């Protein structure tokens, strides 16, 4: 093999070896560019859990949650940068401190809850529910809103305000 052919073969081999590493760090977009931010949020977040209304947390909480997707409550929920940016913008634009949600009443400006169940409104609304009820076969956990709230998946907690 000629020296120039050898260099070319080595360069090609180096590219083949480096290609998988590059592919792993740059995730392909998971949503169509034409999809609305709400549809993108519903698709991506709803793939793993109920799509919680953005108004249940302040914008700073959504920013922190979206910044920690590599370890999202113990799971890797990483998204490609464009999709993550779309979802973060949707969540922060519709956050409770932007929309004036009463459920955030009592939340200090310095508090950044990462769980909806840690917000004052959630705590007020669920103060009479026992730990046994939350761990029952029907409910299973505090985050399973749809077990008790029929309209939760649509963002409706009708009659749940105090």
Structure tokens at 38: 């709400």
Domain boundaries, the chain: 37-154
The three-class DSSP label of residue 72 is strand
Q: Quickly state the pLDDT bin for 32 (edges 50, 70, 90).
A: low
Length of the chain: 162
Query: Model-level pTM greater than 0.85?
Result: no
Contacts of 133 (CB under 8 A, 6+ apart): 139
The tens digit of pLDDT for each residue in 90-145 reads 999 999 998 777 778 899 999 999 999 999 989 999 999 999 999 999 999 999 99
Q: For residues 16 and 10, what is the distance between their CA atoms, to the nearest angstrom? A: 10
């Amino acid at each position: 093999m000629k020296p120039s052919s050898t260099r070319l073969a080595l360069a090609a081999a180096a590219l083949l070896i480096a290609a998988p590493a590059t592919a792993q760090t740059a995730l392909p977009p998971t949503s169509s560019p034409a999809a609305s931010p709400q549809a993108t949020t519903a698709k991506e977040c709803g793939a793993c859990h109920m799509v919680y209304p953005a108004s249940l947390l302040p914008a700073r909480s959504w920013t922190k949650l979206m910044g920690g997707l590599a370890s999202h409550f113990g799971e890797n929920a990483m998204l490609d940068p464009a999709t993550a940016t779309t979802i973060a913008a949707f969540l922060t634009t519709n956050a409770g401190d932007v929309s004036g949600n009463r459920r955030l009443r009592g939340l200090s400006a310095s508090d950044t809850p990462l769980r909806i169940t840690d917000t004052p409104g959630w705590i007020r609304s669920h103060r009479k529910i026992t730990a046994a009820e939350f761990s029952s076969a029907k409910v299973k956990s505090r985050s399973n809103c749809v077990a008790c709230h029929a309209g939760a998946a649509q963002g409706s907690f009708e009659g749940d305000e105090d």
